[in-house]
Every structure is written in structure tokens, then in C-alpha cells.
Amino acid sequence: MPSNAALTCDNNGLIAYPAGCTVVLFNTRTEQQSHIINTSRKTITSLAFSSCGRYIVTGECGHQPAVRVWDLQSDPQSGHPGLAPQPQQVAEFVGHKFGVNCVAFSPTTKYVVSVGTQHDMIVNVWDWKNNIKVASNKVSTKIKSIAFSENGSYFVTVGNRHVKFWFLEHGKAKYKEAVPLMGRSAILGEQRNNYFCDVACGKAQCGDSTYAITRSGLLCEFNNRRLLDKWVELRTTSANCITVGEKYIFVGCAEGIIRCFDPTTLRFITTLPRNHYLGVDVSLGTSIQHMATPPPDAKYPDTIAITFDETNNKLTSIYNDHSIYVWDVFNIQRVGKSFSFLYHSACIWGVEMAPPNSPLPPGSFLTCSSDDTIRVWTLDKMNENNSRGMYQPNIYSNELLKVVYIDKDLSYIKDLDISGTTDKQENSSYDGRNGVRCIRISPDGKHLASGDRSGNIRIHDTSSMRELCKIEAHDAEVLCLEYSDINLGLMASASRDRLLHVFDTKNGYDFQQTLDDHSSSITAVRFLNHAGNTQMVSCGADKSLIFRTLGDGTGKPQFTRAHNATGKTTLYDMEVDTGQKHVLTACQDRNVRIYSVNTGKHTKSFKGSTGDDGTLIKVVLDRSGIYLATSCTDKSLSVYDYYSGECMATMCGHSELATGLRFTNDCRRLISASGDGCIFVWRVPHDMVVTMHARLSQQAMRQGKQLENEVFSDSSNFDFYEGTNAIDVNYRFSIGQLPQWAKKQLTEDASQPQTFTKGVAVPKGRWAQRAETAMGVKSFYSNNPYPFPPPGGIKKLHWLFKPRNDLTLMVDPRTALWTVVRK
């Protein structure tokens, strides 16, 4: 969120802001989120709605940045009637070299104006429907903001010692070549040396006025002759953003302050309530009184962006700790909070799912970041029925349950790059030794281990998040932490200092052993139990994979090297399959290589990324062990079939590489976290979820166990026969290469009538005859055969797979759920 140019709203309750190379659209009426994904994978820096609310224009940064126009109400192109419209890109202009600072629509929606960065210094006017550049000119300073007049005859740009009025000459728009854009500087008088950081044009009776704010804290009004008519002091250390309505002017300032003024007289009206103070314990915020009673020495994040939805009386503000608040300003003297969200303000390094038996609520996951915090999130709405212990619904966020502050001084909780301060601290770089680098939860869910960039390891109690102990373990950042099973009670830590430490979790994390057989950074370590023997395997930048066996001595547990494998490329991550027989590694050459635990030999490999650039840095399996997800430095995510190596799906949306990746415990979602500070939750396709659930059921049956309730919760929603026609409009997976019969199946019109034979839809294609043969159906809990099709027939049967010898159709008598499982 670089500036106020990266926040906008329409008049229908929709606000938009960038998250990496994704635009998040949040509807304040329905509380629903939708998204626009920039497939170019360039970071979105600015955006703006058209006056009608149908279109949105985005600017980006990077090599050959583009200005893109999106239609939010375009007709669905998939051929399925009844689908909700999906945003479609309708225009693209490449006229800047380095980046786009701000964009805006003209009030008539005919023109789009884009302003480049300080290295580009170009102002372009586009007739976007006719795909031509109308006018262009250069500026001599960095432009921070842009605003159109209400009648659309001119727009204003502001920057350092810069306030300029640009006039559109409509008569010359018919020429195909761009004409010089005419501009006139404002008459600043005594304020000519100020840094003007934002601008907004008046509305209705104040339509001839233009309002600008200075970084030093002045609200200035320019008349229709471009003259600085009057100004008032904001009484703040700095001002950052402004938005104007017919009745109010709102100005966002430092320390969470938002001032309100009358646009006709610049008379001060009120100051809005402040947001949360820095270091707040969100888990204690069970009532609104918690916001009204801050400690006496409380500090607040700076307001960096605001936008005003005058129709719904909603003011949205964003702060430099990456928190978002939506205020209800219907009664300006009694402003209330409608929504709030608290996010990470820096690079996220890891994601960890809470085990089903942990004190954390079901569906919880944790993230760690360079802002020196560990945050506990939930994917389910909190209520009294599913809350556990101290984790109750809070007033600050529906998703955020708890924030653990590692740095008590909160030095990096604010994003200093966008705080607006001119005197930045020398140690403000996130490349320093601040931040939590990795996290891991113990198998019993009671302990949370975290490693920071200074080499320290901290152990927290998950029920209260109280710090139990701190271990000064390494001389460099901790890259990986791993717990063994509960019976063994060990924890291993790996670091950039090439050392691997082993601790005894049963005896207060007493130090056990140090292993120094790697010659470079250790990127991953895992425990496994193969054929009754406990092993520990680690990989690193020295291209080696080392297998160690736990000794049988009577003293402290000691690991000794059994065998090692040396590859051709650096190994960045590692995963163990569910059978504990193979180790999967993410390699520098974008391959996933599989090694045998028994022999340490390389047995199989397949490509782990669909692109030809970048490096594979993450590989993670789902709980069933069927699908694996990978992350590549080309900012893409992929999902593969572990057994066949076939790419099942590819995704993009992050503007930086994804550093954290996890499947949820119920296998229905994939969570990714990135260096851009964003957390994305991806919905897994229905047929993949059914396959994973069937495998989990099979594994539990072999072990004589019963699956956790959360895995099969709402399983009745997965109707094997009726659910395949329901298409999710928020579906973001792009399915990989499909066979021709499947493509034909997907492109057929669902409204066409189907022929039935004995209550079963007759399949089409090359497998039709083979499918007519008798099929055997087994039960999970008995050997008695079940009739197929079931009594009463089936309304509609969709063949989602080719008949194969390694697949069996099974039915769960508890839920009457038919699933296909691998033998």
C-alpha cells in the first residue's frame, strides 16, 4: 500500500485495494470478498473506480508496466448460464517504462490518466475504449496523487513543490497521434516550498475548489483561478491522505488521526476515533470498550490511505501497519466501526497448520513475519460453540485470533517505507536481523516453536501464547524447526550457520546433540520412522541429503550418519510421504526429486513448475499424501499428483515468491503466504477433495482409527452426483492438461437432455462400452456387497475419471457418500 492512490471505492459499498498482484474487492454490504488477479505477476501500485462503478483501472510496476482497465460486470465467457459476472480485462496500455504511480478515470469514463514514477515522469491521457493515447507530457518531479474536477475539464497533480492543473482539449482527441498535454502551475505563494502529498477536487457547490494537503500538516484550498485561497493547520506531525464529499473533508494524519472539516469554510468539525494501538492484544478485545481504553503511553500506526463512500456513509482507512478499518460516519458526531482487519506489515516467512488436538480452535493456522509477530488465524467464523480456551471472538478481526509480539519495542510493526517519515531509521531495513523466520507446532499441539533471524529459538504455550523458554541456539538465522513424534520427544533446529541442534522436549528442551556434517546452509530437516527405526534427514545448499539413524545407547539420544545422497542442485525444501518410505525435495532446477528412505538413492523425479524460469523453494503434501503443492520463485504455485507427476492446477496472485505453503487439515483449502505480506486461501476442486478424503478414510480404517470430526464435517455438502454441476464463481484454479474426453465433457452444454438407462446416465466417448460392465461395490465396514446403482436409481452420474484397474468405488453407509479410492 504505497499511497492513497492504492485505495478506492464506488458508490455501491465496494472498496478495492491491492494485495500483491491481486486486487481485493470487499463489499461492505454483504461482507464478501472477490478478486482480480493480474496474470502478468506485476505488483499493482494504484487503482481507481469509474464514476459508474462498472470499470476499474490499475497501474503496476516492473519491466514494461501496463495500465489495465477491467470490466466488473462483463458477461460470463464460460458458456454456463446463470453464472455471476467475472472481472475481465478490456484494455491495456504500455506507455511507461518503470512504473505507474497513480491512475484515474475522467468523470465521463471516456479518458484514463496515468502518471509514471519519478524515473519515468510522464503523464499520459488515454481514450481507452478506442485504444489510443490522446495527450502526453512530462513533469519535473515525483507525482504523489491525481484528481479530476467534477466537470471533467481538468485534472490536478501534486508532488514536491508541485501543484499543477492539466486541461483536456476535447477537439484534438480525434487525431490519432498524441498531442502535448497543456498544464498550468498553481500559484502557491508562501507555501511554494511545501511537499504536497495528496489532492482531491470539490463536489456540488464546492465543485470549483481543489483541496490539497502538505506533508507538514496543512489543508489548502485552491480556487478556480488556481490561486491558493486559504489553508488551515491540521495540528499533526504529518498528513498523508485526503478524501472529499459534498459535506465533509476527511484528512488522514500520523498516529491514526483522521480529521473532518467543512468543505465550504474549512471549519473543523470533529476527529474520528482512533484505531487499535500498537502492540494490542486482540484476544482481549471482547467488547468495544477495549478500543476506548488504551494505555497512557500507547502509540498508533499512521493513516496512509482513506476513501469515502458517500452513498453508504462509509469511510475506509488503511494504516501503515497494514490494518484496514471501515467507519460508519452517518452521524459524524457518533462515528462507529463497521469492520476492521489486521494483517502482517512485512514479509511472511512461514505457515503452520494447528493439529486437530491442539488448544487452538479447529481450522486454525499460524504465520510468522519480518514484522516480529506470530499471528493465529482461523478460516471459520468464531462462536461460543467452536471456541477453545482464551480464543474467543474479538472486535478487531473475524479471522485474527491472537498476535504474539516477539519484539517488545515494536520496532518493525509499522511499514516504514510508507509511513511518510522523511527521517527513516538506519536500521529500518527488513534485511537486517529482525523478524521470525520459521515456526513449528508440536504433534500434541501444546507447544509452538519459533526461530528468528538472530538465531534464537522461542517456545510458547499454545493455550496462552506465554513464552516458556528462549534458546540462543545459532549464530545465524534459523531456517527450519522440526518435532519428532510424541513418544520420542525431540526437536531439531537447522540454521544458516551449517549446524543442526537436537533438543529434548520432555526435559525442558534440554540440549542433546549438535551435528555439523553439512558444509553450507541447512534448509530443511525431518524426522521419520521407517521399519521401526527412527531417522532424521536433512538437506541444504551443499546439494546433499543426509540420512541419520538414532542410536540404541542408554545415554542421551545420538544420531549417527547412515547414508547420504548428493545431487546436482541446491535442495531448498523437503517433505516425507505418508508411508515414511520416500523423501521429496524441492530443487533449484525446478524439479521434485524423490529419494528412498531405505537406500538413500534417487528413485524418481518430475518437473515441479510449469514455467521455465525460477527456482523451486517449497514442496508440501496434503494429509492423504496424494497431492503435493509447490512454490517457485517465478511467483507461481502448482499442484501435482504425487504418483503420476501430472500437473493438476497452477495458480498465480502473489507479487513475490510464496515462502509458506500448507494444505488445511480438511484438505479443502490451500494456504499460501508470500514475501509481499499477503496470505491467500485457495479453494481445492471438489473431485480432488473427494479423492483425499477417501484416502484418509482408507488409512484410518487400516489403522483401526476414526477420522477427526473436522475432516468429515459438512461432508454431506459434497454430493457425488448432484454437486458436479455447481460451479463456484470464486473458483481460481486453472486445471492443467486434460484428456480430450474430459475437455469435451466440460464444453458440452449442461442444459442438453441426457438419455438414461436403468436410472443411470449413459456415458459418451471411448469408455462407454466398458462402463456398461458390472461393477463391484465394497463397504468400509462390512464385506456384504452393495447394489450398484443404489435402489431407486441415481438422477445423474458424471464420469469424472477414466475407468482404471487401480480405482475402486466405495460407499460409506453412515453418509451414503460414494467415493473413488485408489487400491
pLDDT digits (tens, 9 = 90+) for 547-594: 999 987 556 778 999 988 998 899 999 999 999 999 999 999 999 999
Give dist(CA 793, CA 757) in Å, integer.
10
Beta strands 807-812 and 778-779 are parallel
**What cell numbers appear for 712 in the block?**
468429515
Please tell me the least confidently modeled range out of 314-323, 410-419, 773-782.
Answer: 773-782
Higher-confidence residue: 728 or 287?
287
Angle at 510 between CA 506 and CA 511, to 5 degrees: 135
Write the single-letter amino acid at 462: T
DSSP 696: H
Q: Is the pLDDT of residue 409 over 50?
A: yes
Give dist(CA 134, CA 111) in Å, integer.
9
Strands annotated E in 453-499: 456-461, 466-472, 478-483, 490-495
Share of the chain above pLDDT 70, in %: 80
Give dist(CA 66, CA 39) in Å, integer.
12
CB 370 within 8 A of CB 347: yes
Q: What is the mean pLDDT of residues 710-732?
A: 39
Phi-psi domain of 409 (left: phi exceeds 0; alpha: psi -120 through 50; beta: other): alpha
Give dist(CA 578, CA 267) in Å, integer.
68
Q: What is the mean pLDDT of residues 131-149?
A: 92
pLDDT band with cut points at 50, 70 and 90 for residue 239: very high
Please tell me the least confidently modeled range out of 74-88, 497-511, 668-682.
Answer: 74-88
How high is the pLDDT of residue 14?
Answer: 94
Residue with cell 452420474: 797
Residue with cell 520496532: 411
**What cell numbers appear for 28 in the block?**
461492505
- Cβ neighbours, 10 Å, residue 604: 14
Q: Is the pLDDT of residue 747 over 80?
A: no
Q: Is the pLDDT of residue 213 over 90?
A: yes
Q: Is the pLDDT of residue 519 over 60?
A: yes
**What cell numbers appear for 293 in the block?**
481504553
Q: Is the pLDDT of residue 801 over 80?
A: no
* Residue that is last in its domain, among 120, 141, 162: 141
CA dihedral 385, 391, 395, 396 (to 10 degrees): -130
How high is the pLDDT of residue 510?
Answer: 94
- List the strands of the sheet with 336-342, edge to edge: 303-309, 314-319, 323-328, 336-342
How high is the pLDDT of residue 146?
Answer: 96
Instruction: Name the average pLDDT for the chain.
Output: 84
Cα-only R_g, the chain: 29
Beta strands 658-663 and 647-652 are unpaired
Of the candidates 410, 377, 409, the one whose C-alpha atom is nearest the C-alpha of residue 394 is 377
Q: Is the pLDDT of residue 491 over 80?
A: yes
Please tell me the least confidently modeled range out of 202-206, 478-482, 635-639, 778-782.
Answer: 778-782
Strands annotated E in 84-209: 88-93, 100-105, 111-116, 122-127, 132-138, 143-148, 154-159, 162-167, 179-180, 182-185, 196-201
Q: Does 690 fall in a domain?
A: no
**What cell numbers appear for 80 in the block?**
454456463
Of the candidates 322, 347, 351, the one whose C-alpha atom is nearest the C-alpha of residue 674 is 347
Count of structural domains within the chain: 2
The CA distances from residue 263 to 4, 252, 322, 608, in Å, are 19, 15, 29, 57
Report which secondary-structure segment, H or E, holds 348.
strand 348-353
* Residue that is last in its domain, among 118, 141, 164: 141
Q: Does 812 fall in a domain?
A: yes
Distance of CA 45 to the CA centre of its chain: 16
CB 568 within 8 A of CB 591: no
Q: Does 328 fall in a domain?
A: no
For the entire predicted model, the pTM comes to 0.83
Q: Does 703 fall in a domain?
A: no
The helix/strand/coil state of 662 is: strand
User: pLDDT by residue (tens digit) across 268-283?
Assistant: 999 999 999 999 999 9
Q: What is the mean pLDDT of residues 618-643?
A: 95
Q: What is the mean pLDDT of residues 118-134?
A: 91
Question: Could you tell me which residues are beta bridge partners of residue 185?
Answer: 164
How high is the pLDDT of residue 805?
Answer: 52
Beta strands 132-138 and 179-180 are parallel
pLDDT band with cut points at 50, 70 and 90 for residue 611: confident
**What cell numbers appear for 501 in the block?**
541442534
Residue with cell 467464523: 381
**What cell numbers appear for 366 in the block?**
499460524
Q: Is the pLDDT of residue 454 over 90?
A: yes
Of the candidates 554, 552, 515, 559, the one whose C-alpha atom is nearest the C-alpha of residue 535 is 559
Please tell me the least confidently modeled range out of 93-102, 509-518, 608-617, 713-722.
Answer: 713-722
CB 436 within 8 A of CB 372: yes
Of the candidates 110, 183, 164, 168, the one whose C-alpha atom is nearest the C-alpha of residue 135 is 168
Question: Could you tell me which residues are beta bridge partners of residue 336?
Answer: 328
Write the single-letter amino acid at 237: T
Q: Does 681 fall in a domain?
A: no
Query: What range does the domain containing 783 cover?
Result: 738-744+756-822
Q: Does 414 fall in a domain?
A: no
Give dist(CA 504, CA 268) in Å, integer.
63
CB 309 within 8 A of CB 316: yes
Q: Does 285 fall in a domain?
A: no
Report which secondary-structure segment, H or E, holds 729.
none
Give dist(CA 390, CA 409) in Å, integer.
25
User: pLDDT by residue (tens digit) across 20-33?
Assistant: 999 999 999 988 99
* DSSP track, 581-614: SEEEEEETTSEEEEEETTT--EEEEEE--SSSSS
Report which secondary-structure segment, H or E, holds 734.
strand 734-735
How high is the pLDDT of residue 189?
Answer: 87
* Residue that is last in its domain, among 90, 114, 141: 141
How high is the pLDDT of residue 430?
Answer: 45
CB 502 within 8 A of CB 557: yes
How high is the pLDDT of residue 177?
Answer: 75
- Cβ neighbours, 10 Å, residue 335: 18
User: pLDDT by residue (tens digit) across 375-387?
Assistant: 999 987 655 445 5
CB 651 within 8 A of CB 20: no
pLDDT band with cut points at 50, 70 and 90 for residue 121: confident
- CATH number of the domain at 11, please: 2.130.10.10
Q: Does 771 fall in a domain?
A: yes
Q: What is the mean pLDDT of residues 537-553?
A: 90
How high is the pLDDT of residue 818?
Answer: 53
The helix/strand/coil state of 450 is: strand
